[in-house]
């Protein structure tokens, strides 16, 4: 279970320090920018979908599965779909905390350089599916205190999303905004982000671990859950935005490391406007991470899969010298198409 950080206090500390810890004002190294492949963006406008290549790549990420679970049978996505034409390599975190993930762990120039290095190494590890960078920002954070409305969550200033969008432009990255619900609901939180989700390069993530309205337990004291009904609400909301704004399909990423975090997965509805990724969120030794992946992600197929790697928890807290290698991750069945670093 991931630690809860009191973001309200972090904001005060951030303001007092002018944000120098996590958002350096120094200009980004122009030489580093030049390393970004000009073709790396996944948002190139197109009016057609290469269905032959789509089928080929879906077979590739199924990685020889013989159970019939993978690839998941569904309608083709709308043109402009990111997956499976790209493997998303995301740095996850919050700008007000260096403890919530890689995105806020280092000053901006160092963070960007590290992310691009990971993208380069993923492209070297898999020459079939191109790796692209992503910045995955935790916008709504679970809190240990109820707050004025008793929801045990705090919404970040929208200006922080604007900052992430500006950073993303520098490296042709896509952006995710992530929601930790506390005692709130997706129906209450998703509409706050409509302005951003209407943009072609912005996608969504949710963390059921912190969805605790039903259990009435403080975040950090229990593992929460969302149901297929909740996921279908978000999927329909995204689908409508895609149609309304004539933009490419949205990626909808869902964290998961226990069976109860997502209930009734067989009832999740797939749509051409939305690409759903079930992300294996657990940390620990490689054997434990693989077991979790095969127990819940592999056996309860939805559409695409993701895999999280922890710079600290997978090594220092697990007694391992290194995280799982890229080659090890690519041996999983199916191959994860979304990789998140925390």
Give the domain ranges of the chain. 81-341
Supply the angle between the helices 108-125 and 158-170 in degrees, to the nearest 10: 50
Parallel, antiparallel, or unpaired: how do β-strands 304-309 and 274-280 relate? parallel
Backbone angles phi, psi at 86, to 5 degrees: -135, 150
Residues facing residue 253 across a β-bridge: 205, 277
Mark out the alpha helices in the chain (DSSP H runs): 7-16, 30-34, 51-62, 102-105, 108-125, 158-170, 186-189, 194-197, 228-245, 286-292, 326-329
How many CA within 13 A on the CB side of residue 39? 3
| 3-class DSSP assignment, residue 2 | coil
Judge contact between 255 and 282, C-beta under 8 A.
Answer: no
Architecture, CATH, for domain 81-341? Alpha-Beta Barrel (3.20)
Q: What is the pLDDT of residues 156-204, one digit of tens each?
A: 999 999 999 999 999 999 999 999 999 999 999 999 999 999 999 999 9
Give the Cβ contact number of residue 280 at 10 Å. Answer: 24
Q: Name residues whose C-beta falls within 8 Å of residue 216's C-beta, 6 or more positions apart in sequence.
A: 183
Judge contact between 171 and 203, C-beta under 8 A.
Answer: no
Q: Which residue has the higher pLDDT, 70 or 11?
A: 70
Residue 68 predicted with pLDDT over 50: yes
> For residue 194, what pLDDT is reported?
97
79-84-90 Cα angle (round to 5): 110
Classify residue 322 by its DSSP letter: S
Give the C-alpha separation, 237 to 329, whole Å. 32
> For residue 92, what pLDDT is reported?
94
> For residue 4, what pLDDT is reported?
53
Structure-block tokens of residue 237 = 């909301």
Q: How confident is the model at residue 312 (pLDDT cuts 50, 70, 90)?
A: confident
Give the C-alpha separation, 110 to 335, whole Å. 28
Give the C-alpha separation, 137 to 203, whole Å. 10
| 3-class DSSP assignment, residue 325 | coil
Mean pLDDT of 92-121: 93
Residue 306 predicted with pLDDT over 70: yes
Structure-block tokens of residue 202 = 């912005």
Average pLDDT across the chain, whole number: 87
Give the C-alpha separation, 179 to 253, whole Å. 11
pLDDT above 70: percentage of residues in the chain: 86
DSSP 121-184: HHHHH-SSSEEEEEEEEEEEEE-SS-TTTT-SEEEPPHHHHHHHHHHHHHTT-EEEEEE--BT-
């Amino acid at each position: 279970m991931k630690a809860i950080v009191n973001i309200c206090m972090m904001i005060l500390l951030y303001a007092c320090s002018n944000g120098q810890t996590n958002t350096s004002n120094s200009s980004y190294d122009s030489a580093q920018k030049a390393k970004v492949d000009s073709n790396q963006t996944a948002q190139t406008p197109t009016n057609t979908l290469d269905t032959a290549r789509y089928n080929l790549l879906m077979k590739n990420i199924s990685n020889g599965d013989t159970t019939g679970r993978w690839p998941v049978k569904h309608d083709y996505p709308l043109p402009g779909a990111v997956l499976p034409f790209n493997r998303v390599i995301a740095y996850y975190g919050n700008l007000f905390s260096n403890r919530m993930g890689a995105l806020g762990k280092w000053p901006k120039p160092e963070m960007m350089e590290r992310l691009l290095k990971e993208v380069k190494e993923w492209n070297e590890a898999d020459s079939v599916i191109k790796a692209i960078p992503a910045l995955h920002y935790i916008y709504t954070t679970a809190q240990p205190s109820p707050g004025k409305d008793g929801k045990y969550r705090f919404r970040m200033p929208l200006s922080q999303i604007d900052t992430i969008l500006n950073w993303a432009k520098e490296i042709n990255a896509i952006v995710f905004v992530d929601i930790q619900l506390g005692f709130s609901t997706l129906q209450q939180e998703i509409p706050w982000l409509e302005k951003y989700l209407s943009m072609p390069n912005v996608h969504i993530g949710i963390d059921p671990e912190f969805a605790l309205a039903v259990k009435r337990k403080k975040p950090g004291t229990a593992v929460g859950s969302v149901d297929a009904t909740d996921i279908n609400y978000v999927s329909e909301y995204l689908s409508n935005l895609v149609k309304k704004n004539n933009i490419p399909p949205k990626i909808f990423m869902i964290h998961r490391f226990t069976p109860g975090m997502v209930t009734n997965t067989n009832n999740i509805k797939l749509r051409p406007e939305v690409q759903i990724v079930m992300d294996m969120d657990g940390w620990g030794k490689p054997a434990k991470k693989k077991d979790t992946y095969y127990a819940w992600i592999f056996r309860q197929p939805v559409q695409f899969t993701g895999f999280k790697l922890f710079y600290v928890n997978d090594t220092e807290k697990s007694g391992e010298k290194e995280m799982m290698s890229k080659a090890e991750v690519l041996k999983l069945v199916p191959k994860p198409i979304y990789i998140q670093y925390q």
